[in-house]
Amino acid sequence: MTHHRAAAFPVGYHTLHPDVSINFQMNRFYNWVGEPLMLEELRAAAGRIDTYEDLRHEVLALAEQALAAGRTLAGAYYLRLAEFFIFAEDPAKGTVRQRFLDLVRASYGIRASDRIGIPYQKARLWAYRFTAQRALGTLVIFGGFDSYLEEWFPMFEWLRDAGYDVIAFEGPGQGAVLEDERLAMTEAWDRPVRAVLDHFQVDDVTLIGLSLGGGLVVKAAAGEPRVRRVVAVDILADFLEVVLRQASPIVRAGVKLLLHLKAAGVVDMLVRAVMRRSRVIDWGVRQGMHVFGVRSPYAFFAAARRFNTRSASRQITQDCLLLAGADDHYVSVGQLHEQIGRLTRARSITARIFTAHESAQNHCQVGNLSLVLDVVVNWVQLTTRGASAAQ
């Protein structure tokens, strides 16, 4: 196995806050910076955070403190952490988001002209391209439910330095396409992928989906011959199961039955009652309604039910890399086995479960990002060489 560059990201998943969702997001945005002082500040602030309003107050204060001290990258990601927990209807969200985008672009030397608008359904998809001098291949990357492309700049640079042409884009329901172009999430993910491949005129690509993108990547690759390799970081075979995972078994079974019966009023009443008792469910449902462009919990759950890989998996004939975290609090490791079982026509299937011993057991391997990127790049190299040898 080849290690392509010195570790760019910190190793370790830290217990900073008792709320599993807040703790994950603190680790997530710290991982992009890796500054020891940032970790100390988050640990100290966590004791003063009980509600999302507390988090917003504390983390925005940390952002201003970091920016005043010239710690621009830490300040930018503090803004992103605060903005993550500001709901879409709050007018402050747009202001905080724009400050994050401006600061992180400036930190990485990204100019306005580096953003690439791709015409799509009377609107635009947005993309960036990071090109290696002698590219070993092309990686096309997208996210999922709640990320911005700009927060992944460190990842894109890592992959570029490993020798790859990186095309990263936001589709419907994501980042600027959601917030500025007003395009809601769609399960027909082959359409934005096709628009991106057409725009850049690329062939023989590795398609990488992150988080919810781990399910969208399967839906997009089905029937698209220009995609030769499929990478799910992490797998996500059934989004409704993810949405319901934080609820009790009784609530999960009840919601599924009520969805089947199309009992919208009862679902809305039940889910709103659960939202009042659970911060993570409250955030997830409200954000889901925003991402999917719907006005009720029932409409969100009904939309989420369509986001599974059952039919698309049978059309996959490419090499597939499926990744999972042993302790992913969003996606159960059982979905890995479901996804493997569905890929009955894949050229090859490689799967890996990351563990706590590797500090990579969490969603999308937050805690050891260098490890997962090494795994992806080495797999791409091996499958590319294997395909060349077979020709």
Pairing of strands 319-325, 205-210: unpaired
Between 5 and 341, name the one with better pLDDT: 341
Q: Which residues pair with 166 in a beta bridge?
A: 130, 139
User: What's the pLDDT at 251?
Assistant: 81
Average pLDDT over residues 348-366: 98
Interval 143-199: pLDDT, tens: 999 999 999 999 999 999 999 999 999 999 999 999 999 999 999 999 999 999 999
CB atoms within 10 A of CB 83: 24
Q: How far apart are CA 295 and CA 289, in angstroms?
A: 6
Task: Check the CA dihedral 204-208-213-218 and report its sign.
Answer: positive
Mean pLDDT, the chain, rounded, equals: 94
Contact 93, 86 (CB under 8 A): yes
Beta-carbon contacts of residue 240 (< 8 Å; ≥ 6 apart): 256, 301, 304, 305, 307, 308
**CATH class, 20-107 region:** mainly alpha
Contact 341, 314 (CB under 8 A): no
Contact 274, 250 (CB under 8 A): no
Average pLDDT over residues 365-390: 90
Q: How confident is the model at residue 6 (pLDDT cuts 50, 70, 90)?
A: very low
Interval 287-299: pLDDT, tens: 999 999 999 999 9
CB environment 90-124: b (16+ within 10 A), e (fewer)? eeebeebbebbbebbbebbebeeeebbebebeeeb
User: What's the pLDDT at 248?
Assistant: 81
User: What's the pLDDT at 391?
Assistant: 58
Identity of residue 101: L
Q: How far apart are CA 332 and CA 186, in angstroms?
A: 23
Cα distances (Å, whole numbers) of residue 252 to 249, 256, 331, 344: 5, 6, 15, 29
Interval 305-315: pLDDT, tens: 999 999 999 99
Q: Which of 3, 362, 7, 24 is nearest to 155 (CA)?
A: 7
Q: Cα 259 to chain center, whole Å?
A: 26
User: What's the pLDDT at 3?
Assistant: 36
Q: How far apart are CA 356 and CA 45, in angstroms?
A: 25
Q: Which residues pair with 353 in a beta bridge?
A: 324
pLDDT at 300 over 50: yes
CB-neighbour burial class of residue 249 (10 A; exposed 0-12, middle 13-18, buried 19+): exposed
CB-neighbour burial class of residue 1 (10 A; exposed 0-12, middle 13-18, buried 19+): exposed
Average pLDDT over residues 355-363: 97
Average pLDDT over residues 346-351: 98
Q: Which residue has the tokens 């803004």?
A: 79
Interval 125-159: pLDDT, tens: 999 999 998 999 999 999 999 999 999 999 999 99
pLDDT at 1 over 60: no
In the chain, which ranges are continuous DSSP H helix?
20-31, 36-46, 52-68, 72-84, 92-107, 153-161, 175-179, 190-200, 213-221, 239-244, 249-261, 264-277, 279-292, 297-304, 310-313, 334-342, 369-390
Supply angle C-alpha 356, 358, 361, rounded to 5.
45
pLDDT at 270 over 90: no
Any idea where the domains of the chain sit in the sequence? 20-107, 118-238+307-390, 240-304
Q: How confident is the model at residue 4 (pLDDT cuts 50, 70, 90)?
A: very low
pLDDT at 352 over 70: yes
> Tokens at residue 286, please?
């409200």
Q: How confident is the model at residue 7 (pLDDT cuts 50, 70, 90)?
A: very low
Average pLDDT over residues 223-229: 95
DSSP state of 308: B
Contact 198, 169 (CB under 8 A): no
Flag whether the pTM goes above 0.85: yes
> Is domain 118-238+307-390 in CATH 3.40.462.20, yes or no?
no
Interval 17-55: pLDDT, tens: 999 999 999 999 999 999 999 999 999 999 999 999 999
> Tokens at residue 230, please?
């499929």
Beta-carbon contacts of residue 146 (< 8 Å; ≥ 6 apart): 84, 211, 287, 291
Contact 136, 203 (CB under 8 A): no
User: What's the pLDDT at 389?
Assistant: 59
